[in-house]
């Protein structure tokens, strides 16, 4: 039974007792905190959400309840005891002043949207015992530059502060504040999870490697500076609202011979009416008659060029599966230029056939050798 005194600054709610002194709220008790929501069942301290700057959950309590601190806009820090094993859904949703969070080692569950829209966070560490991270747990944290995972965690891992499943097949969390303008989703990933890139406003280019089969709901929602997207033919499912509010889209490149069916809200409030849809050769009629895809301002077929060898006297050059293959009798310096003349790569070549792993975005390039030859190639 809820009781409140001292003008609403203390109370007992379920297993938790709480009191507010100055701008700090302290919780004591044994067992799970009650769960709340942001509608009819708000936390009893919700009226003080703009005044609370610090929260302390003392030993004995085992959970942070759902929506317990949602929209506590002044909350700057929180101390959570090692008795807590679960942080509920929406627990710190919209706590934009929260500057850091030490998730206790005892935690096994971080709920859906638990820290979403906490724009003051810059880094966070997922402890080794965490077994479940809910969808969008850190989505929209615009200041977050790294989400690190304890190396001993058996379910999750991070690569450069980006969170994957332990087997690296699912991309789960990308920090919205990461200062990179482009990102290549690795080819070992098969699924991009819910809201992974939500509000990643620094991104201007995304290349999804062949191997990804699913792009999750709202995966790139409100990436409002995203200009170029490359989607491989391996993708068979794109869930609702995946690219909504990508208002700067210029080019979307896809590799399906037959366009896949997607929801009508996939590009809502994006700029596809002014964008180019780049498609494989001899497929334009299929895209022009398929919903969503036929809404692009321009549908352009890419030149159909097989990755065959092209020869220049005694030099053979091919580009296959991101491998630049050079077969020539010379020991020389190779240079790769974009069609506009920008130097993209320099390679010192040994005699005979040599294979180089070179990642080149789609386009036309000029490969030159210091022995005097040059060959134009098209990457796909």
List Cα–Cα distances, 187 to 120, 207, 233, 254, 299, in angstroms.
Answer: 32, 10, 12, 16, 27
CATH 3.80.10.10 in the chain is located at 1-178, 180-304
- Which residues, in sequence order, are CB contacts of 215 under 8 Å at separation 6+? 192, 208, 231, 235, 237, 238, 239, 242
**Average confidence (pLDDT) over 170-199:** 94
In the three-class reduction of DSSP (H, G, I as helix; E, B as strand; rest coil), residue 45 is classed as coil
Q: Are 153 and 126 in contact, with CB atoms under 8 Å apart? A: yes
180-304: CATH architecture? Alpha-Beta Horseshoe (3.80)
- Residues 285, 262 contacting (CB under 8 angstroms): no
Q: What is the CATH code for 310-379?
A: 2.60.40.3080
CATH number 3.80.10.10 given to 1-178:
yes
What confidence score (pLDDT) does residue 99 get? Answer: 92
Is 347 buried (19+), middle (13-18) or exposed (0-12) by CB count in 10 A? Answer: middle
Is it the case that residue 309 has pLDDT exceeding 60?
A: no
332 vs 167: which has the higher pLDDT: 167
Q: Using one digit for the tens of pLDDT, what is the confidence trace for 123-164?
A: 999 999 999 999 999 988 999 999 999 999 999 999 999 999
Query: What pLDDT is recorded for position 98?
Result: 96
Residue 306, pLDDT score: 39
User: What was the pLDDT predicted at 352?
Assistant: 77
DSSP 290: S
- 201-248 pLDDT tens trace: 999 999 999 899 999 999 999 999 999 999 999 999 999 999 999 999
What is residue 340's predicted lDDT score, i.e. its pLDDT? Answer: 61
Q: Report helix, strand and coil shares of the chain as percent, to nearest 5.
A: 5, 35, 60
Q: What pLDDT score does 379 carry?
A: 77
Q: Could you give the strand order of the β-sheet that contains 315-320, starting from the edge strand earlier in sequence?
A: 310-312, 315-320, 323-328, 352-357
* CA–CA gap between residue 160 and residue 158 (Å, rounded): 6
């Amino acid at each position: 039974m809820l009781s409140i005194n001292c003008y609403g600054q203390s109370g007992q709610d379920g297993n938790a007792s709480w009191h507010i002194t100055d701008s700090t709220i302290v919780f004591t008790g044994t067992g799970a905190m009650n769960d709340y929501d942001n509608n009819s069942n708000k936390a009893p301290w919700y009226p003080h959400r703009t005044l609370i700057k610090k929260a302390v959950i003392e030993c004995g309590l085992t959970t942070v309840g759902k929506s317990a601190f949602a929209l506590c806009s002044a909350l700057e820090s929180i101390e959570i005891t090692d008795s807590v094993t679960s942080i509920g859904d929406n627990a710190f949703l919209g706590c934009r002043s929260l500057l850091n969070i030490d998730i206790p080692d005892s935690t096994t569950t971080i709920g859906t949207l638990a820290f979403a829209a906490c724009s003051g966070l810059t880094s966070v560490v997922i402890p080794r015992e965490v077994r479940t991270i809910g969808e969008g747990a850190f989505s929209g944290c615009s200041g977050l530059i790294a989400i690190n995972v304890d190396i001993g965690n058996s379910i999750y891992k991070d690569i450069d502060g980006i969170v994957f499943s332990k087997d690296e097949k699912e991309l789960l969390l990308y920090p919205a504040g990461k200062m990179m303008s482009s990102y290549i989703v690795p080819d070992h990933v098969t699924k991009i999870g819910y809201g992974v890139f939500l509000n990643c406003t620094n991104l201007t280019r995304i290349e999804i490697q062949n191997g990804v089969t699913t792009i999750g709901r709202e995966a790139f929602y409100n990436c409002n500076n995203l200009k170029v997207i490359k989607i491989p033919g391996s993708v068979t499912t794109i869930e609702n609202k995946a690219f909504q509010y990508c208002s700067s889209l210029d080019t979307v490149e896809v590799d399906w011979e037959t366009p896949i069916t997607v929801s009508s809200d996939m590009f809502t409030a994006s700029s596809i009416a002014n964008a180019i849809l780049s498609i494989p050769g001899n497929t334009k009629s299929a895209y022009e008659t398929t919903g969503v895809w036929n809404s692009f301002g321009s549908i352009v077929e890419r030149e159909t060029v097989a990755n065959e060898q092209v020869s220049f006297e005694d030099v053979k050059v091919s580009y296959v599966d991101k491998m630049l293959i050079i077969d020539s009798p010379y020991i020389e310096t190779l240079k790769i230029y974009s069609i506009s003349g920008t130097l993209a790569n320099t390679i010192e070549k040994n005699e005979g056939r040599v294979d180089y792993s070179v990642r080149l975005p789609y386009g036309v390039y000029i490969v030159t050798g210091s022995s005097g030859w040059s060959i134009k190639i098209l990457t796909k």
